[in-house]
Amino acid sequence: MAIRFESIDFLNDVEFWPPVAISGVLAIAVFWVMGLYRSLVRFVTGRILASIVRGVLAFAISLMVLNSMLTSGIPRSVPIICGLLMLLTIGGSRFAVRHVFRRPHQVTKKPVVIYGAGEPGLELLNTLFHGRDYSPIAFVDDDHHLQGLTISGLPVYSPLEIPRLADETGLEVVLLAMPRLSHARRREIFASLEKTNLEVKTIPGLSDIISGKAKISELRNVSAEDLLGRDAVTPNKKLLRQNITDKVVMVTGAGGSIGSELCRQILSQLPKTLVLFEISEFALYSIEQELSEMAKHIEPSVRIVPLLGSVQNANRLKAAITAFKVETIYHAAAYKHVPLVEENVVEGIHNNVFGTLTVAKLARENQVKDFILISTDKAVRPTSVMGATKRIAELICQAFAQEKDTTTFSMVRFGNVLGSSGSVIPRFRSQIEAGGPVTVTHRDINRYFMTIPEAAQLVIQAGAMAKGGDVFILDMGEPVRIADLAVTMVKLHGLTPYFVDDPDEVVPEKGDIPICFSGLRKGEKLYEELLIGNSPQGTEHPRVMTAREIAMSLEQLLPVIDRLLTACKAFDLLEIKSILRALPLDYAPGESPILQTDEKEKIATPPIKCQPVESVTGK
């Protein structure tokens, strides 16, 4: 009214007050109902404007109506002017106070840019405003239409501007707020940021956000798994269910890296009973507790049976298979750590060879429908005892497959899985967090990598395609040079790597984390292979192949296994090596402490004859 009349004489007009008082009470009531007075001012967001607008509209409209009914003489422009002023003061005062509350913490926050100006980026921005760790200074986005705009008060730049922002603002961290990002695009982004030496963090993946396992606000360092992993191929649901749904399934080595993930994938396909067979009490307890919680949300009727036992214990295994009438066995129990098995040859053979023989025999005798062996790329032309034992385990399954019994035997061969026990990635991570050095065995060593969930899912689908004696090979993608992986992991932590000749050599002026080469370990190969021959064939799944490889009959194989058992009982390491060399394994060990040079010259065991068998055709 003062703006309209340029005077305050209207205050003496009695007719002016009733419509103003009633409209004011109505507006306050609307504000109360909309929760305006229950909002903590320091945490208000743009959403509060909707509540303010509703209250202001209630005030302005009611003032117009009451003024018309009571003929109070209030000009028609006054409700409009008043509404605008209310919007400005009620909303503006709250955002001003919020700014005051937030401002003192800015000095201790790290400046960051948010990569991705979409909805996840905006939600992350709001979370960061309330936190005490990071101060967002800008968005960067690949979308040319967004570049140059301002979103929530922050400018949007091209990713090419990041080096300039780092120089001008002291930028320390880049936050990836793109949960739908493919692994390939994630690698491209990281490659473009490598030269900036900025720390890169990311929000969880879309699947974790949707499932409730993680929130957008839960930032973490970009991991090697994010860069090495691949975008999943949609699984064939029919293959996933075929050997599992409504069946009794046993997993040996259920507490291991692969075994536990197999159990998770199997549970999601609703078996009748899932039998967990594991030698480690703690590992068995951990996976049983996890699966029991999962079952509550998936299907409480699924029976989960935890059994302690060794695959070498025939009586324990037989009791388990017969008591629960097992229909499918996934045999994942094995000693897999190459240097450890090199130091513990007899135990490695007992577990990997005789354990597999025991499970396979009992599976056939008790008419288990499907038996799937989890093998390894180290079984191909092995240079280690571990690789040799896994190739013998394959020969055992191929031999049983030739008997044409009710059990379908198959094996799935693949390389390293990301994050498994003994994997190089957790070791590198702990070395980096300890300040280095990061130790790589050889400058040129490389490995295939696959995520554990993808490997387990492909194993299940491969097993469902088996006809008998099949050697399935998973498409592992491209091999990764381990030295490059070490460099990438150091840079992911926002640190600078440099190479040294000795682990104790530290040169701070060269960088933050030294990387040195320690030499190949016992039984370790520079390059891993997945095929013995060169003729893989495709299957109905794009990432599963099958191979035709040499096999032995049971009549040929069992006498050799008996000789190997006798040598193990006598701890005759010379004879053990002799048998491994004579078997059709292409076993070619390097220098080993087990045999000295003069001892190797004494080995004269002739190679064991075997008949080629095309396992893929079941012949």
pLDDT at 466: 86
DSSP of 404-444: --SSEEEEEEE-EEET-TT-HHHHHHHHHHTT--EEES-TT
Active-site residue flag, 378: yes
CA distance 326 to 366: 8
DSSP of 63-109: HHHHHHHHT----THHHHHHHHHHIIIIIHHHHHHHHHHHGGGGGGS
Strand extents, DSSP E, 228-316? 248-252, 273-278, 303-308
pLDDT-based confidence at residue 9 (cuts at 50, 70, 90) = confident
Could you give the C-alpha distances from 353 to 335, 359, 411, 608, in angstroms and in order? Answer: 10, 10, 14, 17
pLDDT-based confidence at residue 216 (cuts at 50, 70, 90) = very low
Helices (H), 422-572: 424-433, 452-464, 482-492, 554-569
CA distance 489 to 395: 38
Check: CB of residue 432 under 8 Å from CB of residue 513: yes
pLDDT surpasses 60 at 594: no
Higher pLDDT, 328 or 504: 328
Q: What is the mean pLDDT of residues 271-286?
A: 95
Q: Which residue has the tokens 């491994």?
A: 580
Could you give the C-alpha distances from 161 to 166, 184, 387, in angstroms and in order? Answer: 9, 22, 50
Helix axis angle, 17-33 to 48-70, nearest 10°: 150
Q: What is the pLDDT of residues 530-566, one digit of tens each?
A: 666 566 777 788 788 888 778 889 999 999 999 999 9
pLDDT surpasses 70 at 203: yes
pLDDT surpasses 80 at 175: yes
In the three-class reduction of DSSP (H, G, I as helix; E, B as strand; rest coil), residue 339 is classed as helix
pLDDT at 329: 96
Q: What is the four-CA torsion angle of 551, 555, 559, 560, rounded to 10 degrees?
A: -10
> Which residues neighbour 146 within 8 Å (Cβ) at sequence distance 6 or greater?
117, 139, 156
CA distance 512 to 75: 73
Q: Which residue has the tokens 């080469």?
A: 517
Q: What are phi and psi of 39, to 5 degrees?
A: -85, 130
Higher pLDDT, 206 or 522: 522
Catalytic residue, candidates 201, 247, 336, 378: 378
Q: What is the pLDDT of residues 463-497, one digit of tens each?
A: 889 888 888 888 777 788 888 888 888 887 778 88
Higher pLDDT, 403 or 281: 281
Q: Which residue has the tokens 């990997």?
A: 352
What is the DSSP secondary structure assignment for residue 508, as one 8-state letter?
T
What is the DSSP secondary structure assignment for residue 204, as one 8-state letter?
P
Q: What is the mean pLDDT of residues 581-606?
A: 58
Q: Which residue has the tokens 């280690």?
A: 384
pLDDT surpasses 70 at 592: no
CA distance 459 to 479: 20
Helix axis angle, 314-324 to 355-365, nearest 10°: 30
Q: Which of 203, 116, 186 is nearest to 154 (CA)?
A: 116
Q: Which of 402, 483, 497 is nearest to 443 (CA)?
A: 483
Q: Which of 371, 430, 390 is nearest to 528 (CA)?
A: 390
CA distance 253 to 332: 5
pLDDT surpasses 80 at 578: yes
Overall pTM > 0.85: no
pLDDT surpasses 80 at 596: no
Q: What is the four-CA torsion angle of 449, 451, 455, 461, rounded to 10 degrees?
A: -130
CA distance 230 to 450: 8
Q: Mean pLDDT score of the chain, rounded to an integer?
A: 82
